Amino acid sequence: MTRLTMAKALNAGLRRALEADPKVVLAGEDIGKLGGVFRVTEGLQKDFGEDRVIDSPLAESGIIGTAVGMALRGYRPVCEIQFDGFVYPAFDQIVSQVAKLRYRTRGAATVPMVIRIPFGGGIGGVEHHSESPEAYFAHTAGLKVVSCGNPVDAYWMIQQAIASDDPVVFLEPKRRYHEKADIDESATPLPLYAASVLRAGRDVTVLAYGPMVKTCLDAAAAAADEGRDLEVIDLRSLSPFDMAVVAQSAQKTGRVVVVHEAPMNLGLGAELAARISEQCFYSLEAPVLRVGGFDTPYPPSKAEDGYLPDLDRVLDMVDRSLAY
């Protein structure tokens, strides 16, 4: 067992992937000598060389476009987008090329690449540094979208994403980079697209992913002091959803609250609410409720605490669900 932060767990997972396959290459702004803004790639260029850990120009579209060509030639590029709000210059490449090439060629060409995006708020970042762009990519057919919520998942999921023949958008909750957990490198990990029941409960199902997982676990602990038993599920995969796990929990508790940082309008919570209502209608005791960011651009850092969902907002929505 090794105790690692999420950032170090990602580093260890990337290192293991680089060791296992010489076709794995990393590319991104300042990921080499600097080790990335969050030091996730620290030491990797020194150990694997500048040809495999590449300091790219300041050009997200160029990073992704070059990686597409590399993937078509048999490499497995892992691209880092330095901050979530910087992904938009590469959006055309991702949705027009990365997502479509396998379908366009009827499977003759694969694009085995990973696009790492530190996402979400909570770090006091300035504009363009605290976005939650997951719905754009989850809506795009041809992309897989996953998010780790703890160091253990970070370590295993990054390796699984790199091994996938489909392009994977890999969302990393930047405000959780420094949280620690024990990593057992001999363990058998969950499949990449499986949800995980982190806390079993009988009263309300709470669905979350990425940075909101810890918030919801804290809310469940607080609710337990009041005699309320919340079941907390880390979705882990946003496209595809593991609906079997979600539906089983919803049918058991009869009440569901979905929590994410992104604005609620047309967010992942809306899709989950629709699917749960369709599949579990006769088991529900209340409508599926959502907690999310407000439908505004992300606020200045001094106001972000009022924007981000917190323990109290989660518990308020649980109360609303139980009141039906």
What would the two tokens of residue 281 be?
A: 């209608």
Which tokens go with 276?
Answer: 């749960």
Is residue 39 a contact partner of residue 13, using CB atoms and an 8 Å limit?
A: no
Q: How many residues does the structure list for the chain?
A: 324
CA pair distance 36, 62, nearest whole angstrom: 18
Given a contact cutoff of 8 angstroms between Cβ atoms, the answer to whether 79 and 27 are in contact is: yes
123: exposed, middle or buried (Cβ count in 10 Å: 0-12, 13-18, 19+): middle
Please identify which of the residues 128, 129, 178, 260 carries the catalytic annotation. 129
CA distance readout (Å), 48 to 25, 54, 86, 132: 9, 10, 26, 32
Question: HSE-up of 105 (CA within 13 Å, CB side)?
Answer: 11
Do 67 and 43 form a contact (C-beta atoms < 8 A)? no
Tokens of 230: 């919340």
Confirm whether 139 is a catalytic residue.
no
> What values do phi and psi take at 152, rounded to 5?
-65, -50
Q: Distances in Å between the alpha carbon of 14 and those of 159, 220, 269, 298? A: 7, 33, 30, 31
CA–CA gap between residue 269 and residue 277 (Å, rounded): 12
Rg of the Cα atoms in the chain: 19
8 Å CB contact between 10 and 154: yes
Cα 296 from Cα 306, distance rounded (Å): 12
How far is residue 47 CA from its own chain's centroid?
Answer: 27
Catalytically annotated residues: 129
